[in-house]
Amino acid sequence: GESVGLHLPTLSVQEGDNSIINCAYSNSASDYFIWYKQESGKGPQFIIDIRSNMDKRQGQRVTVLLNKTVKHLSLQIAATQPGDSAVYFCFNTDKLIFGTGTRLQVFP
Amino acid sequence: NAGVTQTPKFQVLKTGQSMTLQCAQDMNHEYMSWYRQDPGMGLRLIHYSVGAGITDQGEVPNGYNVSRSTTEDFPLRLLSAAPSQTSVYFCASSYQRDYYNSPLHFGNGTRLTVT
């Protein structure tokens, strides 16, 4: 079946380290992928997006990598800060499906 | 802009009661949708609308009704609440009717408990 899923439910990192959150997808007719961040008690917020004609896209402290060969998406956060603690979702617009999310915990 | 506004923030219902969750956006977005979020389940699409007068079902539509009489508002109705509808509900909108190509803007959710 078609799905968007995440490799790890929880990721714990030390403040200042880089974080990598992964996401796999099986089939998609859409060429558009989005990463969202959800803080406790709030709705998901857009972080960064990427289209399938790109392999990499950079934002402020965040980078998204897309490997279409193995159908894998990753979100890299540089110099992780306590404010980055949240649940991160990848989203594929084809089936409007969210993964269950990865919880990022940042400790001092 | 206020963005996407959801009311109420919290609601407790008894089984069999009805209620309407309100969602309004002031960004002139054509596309609006409702998701529910349960622990360990991620976000699941209930209903969506690509413009005023047009609605369609998502992944989990049973037990919910929607209508879209204006661009700004997209209410979600529970006709007869059940404990299985205990969840956090999120409304989201997008500036393009072609939702394949634009990110969603979310409200802060309504936490519903059905006893």
Residue-wise pLDDT for A60-84, tens only, equals 999 999 998 888 899 999 999 999 9
Tokens of A34: 């989005």
Q: Alpha-carbon distance B1 to B93, whole Å? A: 14
Return the amino acid letter for B41.
M
Q: Which residues of B touch A44 (CB under 8 A)?
A: 43, 90, 104, 106
- Residue A95 pLDDT greater than 70, yes or no: no
Average pLDDT, chain A: 85
Distance from CA of A95 to the nearest CA of B (A): 9
- Report residue B29's pLDDT band, with 50, 70 and 90 as the boundaries: very high
Please compute the mean of the pLDDT values over residues B84-104 and round it to a whole number.
Answer: 85
% of chain B exceeding 70 in pLDDT:
95
Please compute the mean of the pLDDT values over residues A42-57 and round it to a whole number.
Answer: 92
Please compute the mean of the pLDDT values over residues A51-58 and round it to a whole number.
Answer: 92
Please compute the mean of the pLDDT values over residues A27-37 and round it to a whole number.
Answer: 80
- Nearest alpha carbon to residue A82 among A57, A54, A105: A105
What's the confidence (pLDDT) of residue A13? 96
Strands (E), A19-81: 19-25, 32-38, 45-51, 56-58, 62-67, 72-77
What's the confidence (pLDDT) of residue B96? 73
What's the confidence (pLDDT) of residue B103? 86
Task: Give A83: exposed, middle or buried? Use CB within 10 Å, 0-12, 13-18, 19+.
Answer: exposed
Place of tokens 């309004």: B24
Q: CA A64 → CA A22, A37, A54, B95, distances in Å?
A: 10, 13, 10, 23
- Nearest alpha carbon to residue B91 among B28, B4, B29: B4
Task: Give A53: exposed, middle or buried? Use CB within 10 Å, 0-12, 13-18, 19+.
Answer: exposed
Q: Alpha-carbon distance A63 to A78, whole Å? A: 8
Q: Which of A30, A46, A96 faces B45 most closely, judged by CB atoms? A: A96
Question: Can you name the residues that pair with B9 across neighbouring β-strands?
Answer: none
CB-based contact, A44 to chain B, within 8 Å: yes
What's the confidence (pLDDT) of residue B101? 72
Q: Which residue has the higher pLDDT, A14 or A52?
A: A14
What's the confidence (pLDDT) of residue B24? 98
Check A43 against B109: CB less than 8 A apart. Answer: yes
> Which of A39-43, B41-45, B80-84, B99-103 reaches the highest mean pLDDT?
B80-84
